[in-house]
A and B are shown apart, each in its own frame.
Chain A
Amino acid sequence: MDTNAKPTAAKRTIGVATPDPVLAVEDLTMYYATRAGDVRAVDGVSFAVQRGESVGLVGESGCGKSSIAMALLKLLPENARLIRGKILLNGADLAPLSDDEMREHRWNHIAMVFQAAMNALNPVYRVGDQIIEALDAHIRSTPEISMERVRELFDLVSLDPGFIPRYPHEYSGGMKQRAGIAMALACEPDLLIADEPTTALDVIVQDRILKELRKVQEALYMSLIYISHDMAVIAEVSHTVGVMYAGRIVEWGETVDVFHRPIHPYTQTLMSAFPSVTGPKHELGMLSGEPPNLLTPPPGCRFHPRCPYATDVCRSEEPPIVRSGSHWAACWHPLDGAAA
């Protein structure tokens, strides 16, 4: 790990009081090595997740949301490198752990629900057996107890226990995702990461799964990181939201606050890019330009090339942290009278 590197955003702490953080990420930085150079997918990200808290990460595709998820589990592709930062899970740093040491934490402490479009279930094994496999990897028990646990889990996510010995291809999309959630809950993890779990599902199924997820999260008093590009979904499941842009968190705070009174211009544009079905018709806010190339991110505030309020200082200096009520943002020209 490169300890001499300049900590660009390490000092950014979150505004929420931290009585019992399950997860504290400090200055997490992860690059993908490509032929053209390093892609700075996650660049100095810091945040904390409290016990029982549901956090949403929102942003355009390619902004580093999923990279954070994979970095937390340390399931990195071969060309990815963790440059620096800490991943404190219940106070212990996961960043320096070897793959073998990490195995103990995976699923046992941090579990993940994958995108519905992904084939998260192995096609040649029965779904029940795949859940039992996760249990067996972490908990010593008898086949009977494991089976009983699978039945409980199926019950928890409203799946017919008759489907325990069935194969994944016999499940519908929504059922597969419920099975994915049941599998993720198998070892009662402290933290559940849900990476766009409902993106490929139709809205009715999506809504049911979201309600289910919320219910389960509250019932088990589990922490949840919900990753999505859909603001409406995040609004439904998360207490706290983090808005990501180009590998950084640009705004963070209580969901209601952030969505009603955004202080970062990017959050505001993102909000206005979503149509309202019931409200009056208006021109959708269009974000001109493309997200920046993370091989050579723009200096200063990374949003400045697309920001309507950008000035010279945005183009050269890292933006300061400004606060407003429960939330903070990294911006030179915050909206809504926020102050540093």
Chain B
Amino acid sequence: MAGYLLRRTVQILLTLFVFLTIVFFLVSAQPGDITRLYSMDPSLPPETRANLQELFGVNEPLWKQYLVHLKNTLTGNFGVSFSLYPRTVGDVILERLPRTLVLFATATVISFYLGFALGKIIAWRRGGWVEYTSTLGGVSLYTVFTPWFGLMMIWLFAFKAGWLPIGKFLDPVVWRDAPTDSNTIFNLMLATVAGVTVVVFAVAVATKKKRLAAAPLLQAGAITVATAAVVGVWLASGVGHLAFDLVKHMILPVATLTLISFAGTMLLTRNSMLEVIREDHVMVARAKGLPEKVVRDKHVARNALLPVVTSFVFSLAFAIDGGVIIESVFSWPGMGQTLVSATVSEDLPLAVGAFVFVGIFVLVAHLAADVLYAYLDPRVRYR
């Protein structure tokens, strides 16, 4: 496994190199260069123009520029954003990336759970009203025009009902006297969620290994205790209302993303289940006298999970740039919006930096998919 990981990492670095090259030459292939934005100004003296070109290095031969680009990217120097001057690209991305990740990771995990659970049911009871309703509803939502659906959600739940805020990341009124900025709170929230996940996962693994009869009870207890502890700490911290404000702003975009995407997982799960049901070991599981629910969940669904997990990890990767539409509709200041505004305002360093980050994330997700697959399917042992 270690050898495999090493080899795969080398492959990923090579792919990243190819990716960086393509991004660079695509950007270079555009007519004009970065300095045009400024040098087109007729009031600029010729020597300033030359200075600018010198400064940006656009007079250098292409291969030299390419090498500088590679060196800078690999040393983590993405340059300075034009539109958000003087902030560095790295700084902007580090601020925006977690927001997008949280939004899409949450939505993807929920839609994966929902889709998997529904897919299991409709594969087991084919032809019932559950199948027709969820398939019709799921496919309708899956194929709906996304911006329209996002606006409808806002109109219904934020404007008409007034339950939730209309877009944006936070409510400035709530944050007027805040002791810290939103990024700190947001990162703290992220850390809490990660901590709870680790605790719950550890308890699940530990109880499973010991084959304890009370495992489900212990797991439920661990989740309850961890959640209660987290809520308690946040309430006591004095910034709980700020965290709540961020959560409130997340609900609508997450719900919209979940609704438009769960049908994919559902139908994939259904097809995968129907394939596994035909396998011999499922009949053996029935012959063993196991209850239908055990046959479905433990034997069929567990095997049907494999292709679903692959698609899940890949959809996580596409989450970053796939959010362009949703982030624009909900004015969510994440990577998608950053990409759009960087492109519109010709902020090339930021656009390139955002692309590079998306590329790295996709590659890492592929590696994660491989590792997860080996963990889920004992037949896959990478050498």
A interface residues, Cβ below 8 angstroms from B:
73, 75, 99, 103-108, 111-112, 114, 118-124, 133-134, 137-138, 143, 167, 169, 183
Are the CB atoms of B281 and A133 closer together than 8 Å?
no
Query: In the complex, which residues of chain A have a beta carbon less than 8 angstroms from the beta carbon of B303?
Result: 122-124
Whether B172 is near chain A, meaning CB under 8 Å from some CB there, is no
Confirm or deny: B378 has a beta carbon within 8 angstroms of a beta carbon on chain A.
yes
Q: Are A107 and B288 in contact, CB atoms less than 8 angstroms apart?
A: yes
Q: With the chains together, A119 CA to B289 CA distance in Å? A: 18
**Could you say which residues of chain B place their CB within 8 Å of the CB of A112?**
284, 287
Chain A proximity of B261: nearest CB distance (Å): 27
Q: Is the CB of B377 within 8 A of A122?
A: no
Q: In the complex, are the beta carbons of A122 and B281 less than 8 A apart?
A: yes
B residues with CB within 8 A of A: 211, 279-281, 283-292, 299, 302-303, 376-379
Contact A120 B379 (CB under 8 A): no
Which residue, B283, B287, B290, B379, has most C-beta atoms of chain A within 10 A?
B287
Task: Determine which of A104, A106, A169 lies in contact with B379 in the assembled complex, contact meaning CB atoms within 8 Å.
Answer: A169
* Residues in B whose Cβ lies below 8 Å from that of A121: 281, 284
What are the nearest 10 A-B pairs in CB distance?
A: A106-B289, A118-B280, A167-B378, A122-B281, A103-B289, A134-B288, A107-B289, A120-B284, A107-B288, A169-B379
A-B contact pairs, 11 of them (CB 8 A): A103-B290, A106-B286, A118-B284, A119-B279, A120-B284, A122-B285, A122-B303, A124-B302, A134-B289, A138-B289, A143-B211
User: Roughly how many angstroms separate A167 CA and B378 CA in the complex, as a whole number?
Assistant: 7
A112 vs B285: C-alpha distance in the bound complex, in angstroms?
11
How distant is B257 from chain A, measured CB to nearest CB, in Å?
Answer: 30
- Within the assembled complex, what's the spacing in Å between the Cα atoms of A138 and B284? 15
Q: Are A75 and B281 CB-contacts (below 8 A) given A124-B377, A167-B379?
A: no
**CA of A4 to CA of B378 in the docked complex: distance in angstroms?**
53
B287→A106 contact, CB < 8 A: yes
Residue of B nearest to A143 (CB): B211
> Which of these, A119, A133, A143, contacts B288 with CB under 8 Å?
A133
- Contact status B291-A114, CB under 8 Å: no
Q: Is B289 in contact with A123, judged by CB distance below 8 angstroms?
A: no
A173 to chain B, nearest CB (A): 14
Q: A120-B281, A122-B299 are in contact. Are A106 and B288 (CB under 8 A)?
A: yes
Structural contact, A120 and B280, CB atoms closer than 8 A:
yes
Closest to A111 in B: B287
**Closest residue of chain B to A186, judged by CB?**
B288
Residues of chain A lying within 8 A (CB to CB) of residue B287: 73, 75, 106-107, 111-112
Contacts of A108 in B (CB 8 A): 289
Contact A123 to B292, CB < 8 A, known contacts A73-B287, A106-B287, A169-B379? no
From the candidates B280, B283, B378, name the one contacting A124 in the complex (CB within 8 A). B378
A210, B340: Cα distance in complex, Å = 71
How far does the Cβ of B290 sit from chain A's closest Cβ, in whole Å?
Answer: 5
How far does the alpha carbon of A124 sit from the alpha carbon of B279 in the complex, in Å? 13
Name the CB-closest residue of B to A73: B287
Write the nearest CB–CB distance from B53 to chain A, whole angstroms: 61
**Chain A nearest CB, measured from B282 CB (Å):** 8
Q: In the complex the two chains form, what is the Cα distance from A124 to B299 in whole Å?
A: 9
| Beyond A112-B284, A122-B284, 16 additional pairs, beta carbon < 8 A | A107-B287, A107-B288, A114-B283, A114-B284, A118-B284, A119-B279, A119-B280, A119-B281, A122-B303, A123-B377, A137-B288, A138-B289, A143-B211, A167-B378, A169-B379, A183-B288
**A115 and B262 alpha carbons, distance in the complex (Å):** 39
**Contact between A75 and B280, CB atoms less than 8 A apart:** no
Q: Which residues of B contact A138 (CB under 8 A)?
A: 289
Contacts of B280 in A (CB 8 A): 114, 118-120
Inside 8 A of A111's CB, which chain B residues have their CB? Answer: 287
Q: How far is the CA of A105 from the CA of B289 in the complex (A)?
A: 7
Complex contacts, A169 vs chain B, CB 8 Å:
378-379
Q: Which residue of A lies closest to B306 (CB)?
A: A124
In the complex, the chain A residue whose C-beta lies closest to that of B290 is: A137
Contacts A75-B287, A112-B287, A119-B280 given; indicate if A99 touches B377 (C-beta within 8 A): no
Give the nearest-CB partner of B376 in chain A. Answer: A124
What's the least CB distance linking B320 to chain A, in Å?
31
Which residues of the partner chain B approach A119 to less than 8 Å between Cβ atoms?
A: 279-281
Least Cβ–Cβ distance between B281 and chain A, in angstroms = 4
Measured CA separation A14–B341 after assembly (Å) = 87
Find the A residue at minimum CB distance from B378. A167
B288 touching A99 by the CB < 8 A rule?
A: no
B211, B281, B292, most chain A CB atoms within 10 A: B281
Closest to A112 in B: B287
Q: Which residue of A lies closest to B280 (CB)?
A: A118
**How many Å from the CB of B338 to the closest CB on chain A?**
41
Q: How far is the CA of A64 from the CA of B284 in the complex (A)?
A: 19
Instruction: Knowing A103-B289, A134-B288, A143-B211 are in contact, say whether A123-B283 is a contact too (CB < 8 A).
Output: no
Best-buried of B280, B289, B377 by chain A (most CB within 10 Å) = B289
For the complex, give the distance between the alpha carbons of A134 and B280 in Å: 16
